[in-house]
Structure 1
């Protein structure tokens, strides 16, 4: 496999508004070859099938069987399941232990889904709930890696920096953690939005950019190409975002008190690549070129999206998002001559 397009199930519409089966059908019809399963989709399938707002482990496993079958029928590989949230660096160690038990169920789920990757977004709980000790963060994640290594087949973990994460908000910090974890089945998911959205963009600024955006990003990408081991890049996500017409601060329609501006931006205004007519402005192609050409990545390229548009009602929503996503993939593949 060189490059194949994938999409995240949540990118096609919200789980509680849009049926999983319909979203998968639309993704397949558009031409996608793979899909990231969002846990909320699986949970919603379990709730609906069981008429239970708190599905049992067995009901979740049954839902995983259904989701796996639907994807198989529609010719889609499941490239991973995400997001395993709010895990590493917790002050509340009882909650840590509870999440370890939850992970044991996730390990059963991914086996049924016939995938071998679980994605972990870097923790973005408030700082007063976390311990910002990189050694503890790495130790917590190593514990998961060792659980996954004991499985047959081995389960891999793709750690992802979010541009608003409390401590691990850049690829540099992400890579530092991965090196400390030091396990063959623990690597990264590199996301063009979360890389450019931290170093280059600032939705709270009138310019939409950080003060030395272009120079800082160029230096950052150069270092990333030199430092990150490509065998640790388990898959990539390519995505853009809308430039805000006014700074995303208090009073802005997307502002939510207590959330960092970049979180509010991410949840409301991401776009597929090249959607300039919708306001896309990030240098996402530059990031993708670095990962693909300078670092030598080959594998699935996931067209990820989070946006207010996913919460629109109507059966047309998954199909529209699938078509937007595959158009972005085709443009990227043509511009970068991917095959």
Structure 2
């Protein structure tokens, strides 16, 4: 099975608080093959007066460590904007810079999260449209510009996105865009976070969590089997869990931020790596991962963690997150019987990387 394991740079420590160089080194040391590069990590480097210099330095470090830059992300708040001058600015000013950065980083992939731009803070008026035709038209324009330059885009539904908040809705958008360089990211947290989890409820779940999950996963299986879901259009997947909170995430909760969706507040503070049950993980990540591998997904698997633990200023934070991430991947491989090699813990090899015996399908 051709699976490659990666981790986003912000999952190893907060940008600006922990150096990007350190995060790249610990990722490589712990056996990660690639990184999703968070744009804030480039902004917060010592080259903060030049993103291009930051990208050149980062590319050189990644090459020296044999790390692949899976993608540059996130290209946020783009599609469906009601203020069309903003759309034009993003296409004519921001996008060319991102193409230049991605080219330096030797990645052809840019990630786009489904729009979750909040309402106007002064008037309360919406700033995005749910008109599917407008959303698709905007993304077609983006894809066509990317195709001219040799770039791909990967679209992801967030469980708090304003209009496109399920994998089914995101796939409908990808199908309608109908461009070979425009694909899908499937994320276990966002899939389960929308239809299974409810951090505002004492149980941590929606009233129909189990039924809705089974229905969604059956649709995923059936769509892949029928060919309606083109597996090749799944450009990469993200596996991540969420913490079952000890109290509902309401206005009295420390994670609450006024004006932000509850699931967003939860996501920013309480994601976990898969199989971290001892830390409160409760989402059906293994069940989701099993279906994704069953339908034939091959390629990059990324462990996208956002968490309050990333903001720990301790210099050991990146190393601890890398250890947790690779241990999580080790558990996934063992639990699902994937036929791939997994790096052993560094301590088991006296500080040197070794490979475990394969788990076979």
SS in structure 2 of the partner of residue 157 of structure 1 = strand
Query: 1:228-247, aligned counterparts within 5 Å?
Result: 228-247=229-248
* 1:310 corresponding residue in structure 2: 310
Q: For 2:245 and 2:328, locate their aligned partners in 1 and report how far apart those are by CA, in whole Å.
A: 21
Distance 1:215 1:237 in 2: 23
| TM-score normalized by the length of structure 2 | 0.89
CA deviation after TM superposition for structure 1 residue 337, in Å: 2.2
Task: Look up the match of 1:9.
Answer: 9
Instruction: Find the counterpart in structure 2 of residue 166 from structure 1.
Output: 162
Q: Pick from 138, 142, 145: which aligns with 1:144?
A: 142
- CA distance in 2 between counterparts of 1:291 and 1:230 reads 9
CA–CA separation in structure 1 for the residues paired with 2:324 and 2:280: 14
In the other structure, the counterpart of 1:67 is 58
Match of 1:262 in 2: 263
Does the 8 Å contact 2:81/2:127 carry over to 1?
A: yes
The answer to whether the aligner puts 1:23 opposite 2:23 as a matched pair is: yes
Q: Deviations over 1:276-310 (max 9, x none)?
A: 111000001111111111x2001111111000110
**Structure 1 residue 49: deviation in Å?**
2.4
Question: What pairs up with 1:24-103 in 2 under 5 angstroms?
Answer: 24-45=24-45, 48-49=46-47, 55=49, 59-100=50-91, 101-103=93-95
Return the offset for 1:95.
Answer: 1.0
Aligned positions of 1:126-275 closer than 5 A: 126=118, 128-151=126-149, 154-227=150-223, 228-275=229-276
Higher helix fraction (1 or 2)? 1
How far did 1:11 drift? 0.2
C-alpha separation in 2, matches of 1:49 and 1:112: 15
Residues in 2 aligned to 1:80 and 1:125: alpha-carbon distance in whole angstroms: 22
Is 1:115–2:107 an aligned residue pair?
yes
Unaligned runs of 5+ in 2: 120-125, 224-228, 341-361
How far apart in 2 are the matches of 1:216 and 1:314? 40
| Kept in 1: contact 2:130–2:163 (CA 8 A) | yes
Which residue is equivalent to 2:358?
none
Number of aligned residue pairs: 327
**Cα displacement (A) at 1:126:** 2.4
- In 2, Cα distance between equivalents of 1:132 and 1:301: 30
SS at 1:253's partner residue?
A: coil
Moved over 4 A (4+): none
Aligned to 2:354: none
Greater RCO, CA 8 A, separation 6+: 1
- Answer whether contact 2:47 2:53 (CA < 8 A) is retained: no
Deviations 1:86-105 (A, max 9, x none): 00110111111111120111
Alignment match, 1:287: 288
Q: 2 CA distance for matches of 1:49 and 1:62? A: 6
Aligned equivalents of 2:325, 2:137: Cα separation in 1: 37
- Counterpart in the other structure of 2:349: none
Aligned counterparts of 2:221 and 2:137: Cα–Cα separation in 1: 26
Encode CA deviations 1:91-120: one digit per residue, 9 max, x unaligned: 111111111120111111111111111000
Deviation for aligned residue 1:18: 0.4
Would you say the 8 A contact 2:196–2:210 is kept in 1? Answer: yes
